[in-house]
Amino acid sequence: MIERKHTTQRMSQIVRHGDTIYLAGQVGSGETTTEQTRDMLGRVDALLTECGIGRENILQAVIWLADMADFAEMNAVWDAWVPEGHAPARACGEAKLATPALRVEVIITAAA
């Protein structure tokens, strides 16, 4: 069975298939990479909570930065957010994001 939440014509914010949860790409508000990363991860927290799980359940994260020069700035927020001993498989690369103001985006896969 597939369950979708917060669904529009274009996408669902949450898709659950069995014991696997997929989140749509999340971005954040703010001027700096630090601000956007904090807000983005807060949005991830809210979606995970809605699914009844937490950060410890994250299996994989794929992160896109508009500029890899922001890698250390993003990682400072990320490293403080990830629970010790529960780091997911992760990739991070540079990509042109949906709007020029966006500096970071993440897509999460988690276990229920």
Could you tell me which of 29, 59, 60, 26 has the C-alpha nearest to residue 43? Answer: 26
How far apart are the C-alpha atoms of 94 and 71, rounded to whole Å? 9
Which of 3.30.1330.40, 3.40.50.720, 1.10.510.10, 2.40.160.20 would CATH assign to domain 2-111?
3.30.1330.40
Number of Cβ within a 10 Å radius of residue 92:
16
The domain locations on the chain are: 2-111
**5-54, pLDDT tens digit by residue?**
999 999 999 999 999 999 999 999 999 999 999 999 999 999 999 999 99
Residue with tokens 């896969």: 109
pLDDT classification of 57: cutoffs 50, 70, 90 = very high
**76-105, pLDDT tens digit by residue?**
999 999 999 999 999 999 999 999 999 999
Cβ neighbourhood burial of 2 (10 Å; 0-12, 13-18, 19+): exposed
pTM above 0.85, yes or no: yes
